[in-house]
Structure 1
């Protein structure tokens, strides 16, 4: 679960945040991490109390057409995340090989690695968790090394983290803030976490045992997310200290004078504000702080990419298994879900060079934010239903806070769409954006309406305890309520 806060998409969002806005957006990162932890808590509680993961509950509760649309939206989120993760690994391999391994070859290597690592699952989930822990440790040491090498101002780090401010923020900085939210609050991770907790044996007939499981899952999640947050802070701070307010020309000049020169073609406009990504960021660290900084950076990115591609695979399996009620063999499901996500990634890698992927990663981060309501609304709906959660249903505070969060995220998303389309300034895009936004809002409204119906039912059902199998489908519940 914690890997989703440390994938290459997160790392790229972090370094761009530091280079574009300095330490100014650290409070957005902190807020996104806190909200993410609370959503993970809801996901874990659903899995522990019901014995079903979120996709399975959606299959039982939603009508067929909305369920298929919801599944497609979650699959889109997984594909977007996978593209970032696999490309991140391929970029790391390219950096470590000094450009000898092209992007498409790195993608193929990453795909092969993922299947090999997944066979660790045969030796027990705890061994796989230990392997993930090892990769996170690599990330902590590598990005921690960069942090110690660059020596960012600690006062600026603390100020950016605990003093919310965005006065005078430019459009790129606002878009970067949206990207931080999308990079950290990933829809498929909520579905994944609700399934992962099923690996622990819990006697659901014993209320005290369920309470204890919920408590320890929350403690475990808090520790994991805290470690992920610290690593994210390392990356933001390094690029805020070293590259904030720098122009492309200044970076190129430093690199020319260093023992680690880079191509002039890497930055087309030398007078423009610095635009940085995972690949350029590694090269710049090599220019400013020596080749060791580059290779250590690449090792950290490789660890992030390898671990997150495996979690993406697990998410795809659980989502397809739950929404489509598939009973295929595990390996067949793994091949299908990997193919859905990998084929678009391979096409991008084949037709796009490693030096110009910044725009794609920015878009994919914002895509995660746009798709977040399709995980947030269902998890809020079902964890608030007393017939589903019994005595563990959300209280009034959670319901109000969840509703406000959905409203804020949808408002931010629409604001971003308006900014993005205005920046492109094409009449056809205006029409397409209007149609897509309308369809998006209609479906979000439908899910929100079902959520309100469910919340109303939870008040009516107060005092009753029903098993999950006794809960009517959402369309039946709506008719009964009316």
Structure 2
């Protein structure tokens, strides 16, 4: 290798263990520097290293927060209370489907050096990318309202009811300042903060699990033996629907940009993809375990009871207290602590996702405090309006939650279809495009998730929509919705391969 090439490439390479050190460049990307004379500079993937895995650890755990937000916790507790342990197998497979989608998102980000929102801006016509941006923002707002309301409920629990929902919303809104504060100390500090919050959730819900003492045998059977009845279909749909979050697909492709990779070196890119795959899998195993803890606690305490179909985030703590009692620390407060950790972590990652979505689609470059304020306002202002309109009564918040679930379900195809279209294109991904088998599996998962959420939408509108005028409006919107989905799928083989030159350096002939 020539000296010039070595001098040019050395600062960019994620190297093996010799002479390693971690540094932050001006864009806050983690760079591992050091050289190994035996490395094949083009294609060889360096051997596995635990130190290197540690340096890549972080983005997957931030991504996993979306699998543990208050909306997911509500889905867990309702599934446990209404269906017992019988839907745990579905929770496992839904997590596996979510993992597949997140791995594709990380692969896209690593191989191209750009995140999903940026690529959508570059690859889709202006009118289409603006529709995709609006849909992504709506999905983010719907998710953030649930997360902020969940945090506000936790704050009310921990304050013994002194602080109402609206005040909890204001307190939660201030988390963007925590985000800005931690960002100043680098991405590793931010990742460490989220690791602590995940640890708090795990400890709180494990404590609840210990207090409830669910049946280990029934738990294992629920995970390993598929079981579904007509009575539990709606809960089953909810379990799958709440795990696939549109904004999280955009987020993960951006989070992997925090580690700098030399995109002229196939081996280094593949190495990064491998480490991110391992890290993301470990993160979702942890989130799956936490979701199981919550489901099992409510299955043990409320399955088959008269109140099983009326439990939600608002009254769950009180029902837990009445069922399991005080103990060393009242279970009501343990639940509140876990719920607060889930709400706070998910709202901060929502702020993070909002920045990437807005900057990527609109090509905006703003100061940190301004972009955080704008993206936070997108969610907090609607949430404040909702908190004032819907008071803390269980019925009103249940209705709100149903509408928010519908809002997010509508958006899922607008994140998954562009992701699959882009990650399948050799012009964009080079040799890292997904193969035929993985593409088939991914499209099947996307179709399955879309159909499941379509069932949820059909059930909801059948029960909620009344009147000829309203029905006509819903039909017209549905037709436009389906037409746009068809356009996105058609784009996979039509407008995406535009004659604009190759996006990726790493092609098979490189």
Superposition TM-score tier, normalisation by shorter sequence: 0.7 to 0.9
Q: Do the aligned partners of residues 434 and 285 (structure 1) sit closer, same or farther apart at CA in structure 2, a change above 3 Å counting?
A: same
C-alpha distance in 1 between matches for 2:335 and 2:449: 32
Structure 1 CA distance, aligned partners of 2:99 and 2:208? Answer: 26
In structure 1, how many angstroms separate the alpha carbons of the residues matched to 2:422 and 2:154?
A: 40
Of 272, 289, 294, which residue of structure 2 is paired with 1:230?
Answer: 289
Alignment equivalent of 1:178, drawn from 219, 230, 237 = 237
Is structure 2 residue 508 aligned with structure 1 residue 467? no
CA 1:131–1:425 in 2, change beyond 3 Å: closer, same or farther? closer
CA distance in 2, matches of 1:343, 1:467: 38
Instruction: Specify the alignment match of 2:152 in structure 1.
Output: 90
Quote the offset at 1:201 in angstroms: 1.2
Q: Deviation at 1:182?
A: 2.4
1:478 alignment partner in structure 2: none
Q: Decide whether the 8 Å contact of 1:33 with 1:225 is kept in 2.
A: yes
Q: How far off its partner does 1:333 sit?
A: 1.4
Q: Aligned-pair distance for 1:155?
A: 1.9
SS of 1:184's partner is coil
Once the two structures are superposed, the pairs formed by residues 141-180 of structure 1 within 5 Å of their partners are: 141-167=203-229, 169-170=230-231, 173-180=232-239
Instruction: Flag structure 1 segments of 5+ consecutive residues without an equivalent.
Output: 249-272, 472-482
1:81 has 2:143 as partner: yes
- Tell me which residue corresponds to 1:17: 79
**2:266 aligned with 1:207, yes or no?**
yes
Aligned residues of 2:100 and 2:442 also touching (Cα < 8 A): no
For the aligned residues, what is the CA RMSD?
Answer: 2.0
Equivalences, count: 438
1:247-262 alignment to 2 at 5 Å?
247-248=306-307
Please state how far the C-alpha of 1:414 moved relative to its aligned partner.
2.8
| Partners of 1:237 and 1:432 in 2: CA distance | 42
C-alpha spacing 1:454/1:220, structure 2 compared with 1 (3 Å): farther
> Matches of residues 416-455 of structure 1 in structure 2 within 5 Å?
416-424=456-464, 426-428=466-468, 429-453=470-494
- 1:249-272 CA-to-partner distances (Å, cap 9, x unmatched) read xxxxxxxxxxxxxxxxxxxxxxxx
Partner of 1:480: none
Q: Give the whole-Å Cα distance in 2 for the aligned partners of 1:331 and 1:99.
A: 32
Identify the residue that residue 332 of structure 1 maps to in structure 2: 370
Bigger helix share? 1
Shift of residue 331, structure 1, vs aligned partner: 1.7
For residues 260 and 451 of structure 2, the distance between their equivalents in structure 1, rounded to whole angstroms, comes to: 40
Q: Which residue number corresponds to residue 441 of structure 2? A: 401
Match of 1:391, SS?
helix
Q: After TM superposition, give the deviation of residue 387 of structure 1 in Å.
A: 0.8
Counterparts of residues 30-429 of structure 1 (less than 5 Å):
30-167=92-229, 169-170=230-231, 173-248=232-307, 274-291=309-326, 292-356=330-394, 357-424=397-464, 426-428=466-468, 429=470
Structure 1 Cα separation of the partners of residues 503 and 249 of structure 2 = 22
What is the aligned partner in structure 1 of residue 23 from structure 2?
none
2:502 counterpart SS class: coil
| 1:17-76 Cα deviation digits (max 9, x unpaired) | 111211122122111110111111111111111110000000000000010000011101
Deviations 1:98-127 (A, max 9, x none): 110000000001111332343111011101
Displacement, 1:411?
2.4
Give me the TM-score of the superposition, normalised by structure 2. Answer: 0.82
Report the Cα offset of residue 432 of structure 1: 3.1
- For the 8 Å contact 1:13–1:365, the answer to whether it is kept is no
What is the deviation of 1:140? 0.2
Please state how far the C-alpha of 1:79 moved relative to its aligned partner: 0.2
Note the C-alpha offset of 1:469: 9.5
Distance 1:282 1:165 in 2: 28
Distance 2:332 2:358 in 1: 38
Q: Secondary structure at the match of 1:145?
A: helix
CA distance in 1, matches of 2:142, 2:426: 34
Q: Is the 8 A contact 1:381 1:454 kept in 2?
A: no
> For 1:408 and 1:452, how far apart are their aligned partners in 2?
21
CA contact (8 A) 1:276 1:358 kept: no
Q: Output the CA distance in 2 between the equivalents of 1:444 and 1:470.
A: 30
Secondary structure of the 1:114 match is helix
Q: CA shift at 1:15, angstroms?
A: 0.5
1:247 match: secondary structure: coil
Give the CA deviation at 1:366.
Answer: 4.0
Asked if the contact 1:285–1:294 (Cα under 8 Å) also holds between the matched residues in 2, the reply is yes
Change (3 A) 1:24 1:452: farther
Distance 2:505 2:146 in 1: 38
Distance in 1 between residues matched to 2:427 and 2:179, nearest whole Å:
40
Q: Contact 1:143–1:300 at 8 Å: present in 2 too? A: yes
CA displacement, residues 289-342 of structure 1 (integer Å, 9 cap, x when unaligned): 224100011000000111111000000000000001112222211111111111
Alpha-carbon distance in 1 for matches of 2:399, 2:235: 12
Residues 170-225 of structure 1: CA deviation (Å, up to 9, x unaligned): 2xx32322222221110110100100110101111111011110000011101111
Counterpart of 2:227 in 1: which secondary structure?
Answer: coil
CA distance in 2, matches of 1:470, 1:68: 30
